[in-house]
Amino acid sequence: MYKVVLIGAGNLATSLGHALKKAGHQVVQVWSRTQESASVLASALQAEALTDVECIVKDADVYVFALKDSALESIAQQVCPPRSNGVFLHTAGSMPMTLFSHYASHFGVFYPMQTFSKSRVLDFNEIPLFVEASDEVAETVVTAMAESISEHVTHLCSADRKYLHLAAVFACNFANHCYALSERLLQEHGLPFDVMLPLIDETARKVHHLSPVKAQTGPAVRYDENVIGRQMELLAHDADMQQIYDILSKNIHKLHQ
């Protein structure tokens, strides 16, 4: 079991921190830019809350960076050099492992392929983890830590991981945005979004057994111009939604030709 410092206290760090603690690792500190965020997560993990990088311990086994991409390298530059005996891991889908190369000897990536929210602490056991390491020391640590919390661990290089992340944006973020557009349409006409939940759930269940292409239904598959034309007219008040509808409909039809 490892002595871990969490650099970040957001959505991913919250679920990961709980998973590491449950697996027997010791989360000793939680660093965040804001005291409130650091304190909430640190309290739940029985760890020390920090907002000062200088106060991060120098004897942890693993330092896990769960930060937005734009902040990652600048914080790594401050944290890594004085703590060179540790293993430094980031959790970003699109950032290369090599961002640590100028600041650390042992480093890697610990990328959970899941969507996270602070209000929902997830069970990591079913979450696919994609790991990468700079050397044998980092590989031993990142693999052992990943396998302690998940049954689905895969070694994946940075070049391939960025495509995994891109695919996840389509499967999760863009799909969820379509839910948001659906909710807005319903609200405009006094209808609750929960009427969509059985449909959403069945669609998700189907792709466990069918290719998404084979699971696709609706007017765009056969490009039913009567239905599509009428629905485009309903969106005449919103050029952005009309354009999204048009692009998606044509692309769905293209995949089925």
Mean pLDDT value across the chain: 96
Span 70-92, average pLDDT:
94
Please report the pLDDT score of residue 116 as a whole number. Answer: 92
> If you search the block for the tokens 């809350």, which residue do you land on?
49
Task: Compute the distance between CA of residue 53 and CA of residue 250 in angstroms, rounded to an integer.
Answer: 50
| Per-residue model confidence (pLDDT) at position 87 | 98
Q: Are 113 and 130 in contact (CB under 8 A)?
A: yes
pLDDT of residue 84: 86
Q: Looking at residues 61-71, what average pLDDT do you find?
A: 95
Q: What average pLDDT does this structure show over 15-43? A: 97
pLDDT digits (tens, 9 = 90+) for 167-222: 999 999 999 999 999 999 999 999 999 999 999 999 999 999 999 999 999 999 99
Nearest to 40 by CA among 13, 63, 2: 13
Q: Give the sheet arrangement for strand 153-155, strand by strand.
A: 48-50, 26-31, 3-7, 62-65, 87-90, 107-112, 129-133, 153-155
Q: Is 32's pLDDT higher than 90?
A: yes
What percent of the chain is predicted at pLDDT more than 70? 100
Is the model's pTM score more than 0.85? Answer: yes
What is the per-residue pLDDT for 46? 97
Distance CA 195, CA 215 (A): 20
Q: What is the pLDDT of residue 251?
A: 97
| Integer CA distances (angstroms), 186 to 194, 195, 224, in order | 10, 9, 23
- Rounded CA-CA distance 101/64 in Å is 15
Q: Which two structure tokens, joined as six digits, stand for 46?
A: 């029985």
Please report the pLDDT score of residue 257 as a whole number: 85
Read off the tokens for 187: 């609200």
In the predicted model, what is the mean pLDDT of residues 134-139? 97
The mean pLDDT value for 99-125 works out to 93
Answer whether residue 122 shows pLDDT above 90. Answer: no
Q: What is the pLDDT, as a whole number, of residue 212? A: 96
Q: Percent of the chain, pLDDT > 90?
A: 95
Mean pLDDT of 138-145: 98
Please tell me the predicted confidence (pLDDT) of residue 121: 83
Length of the chain, in residues: 257
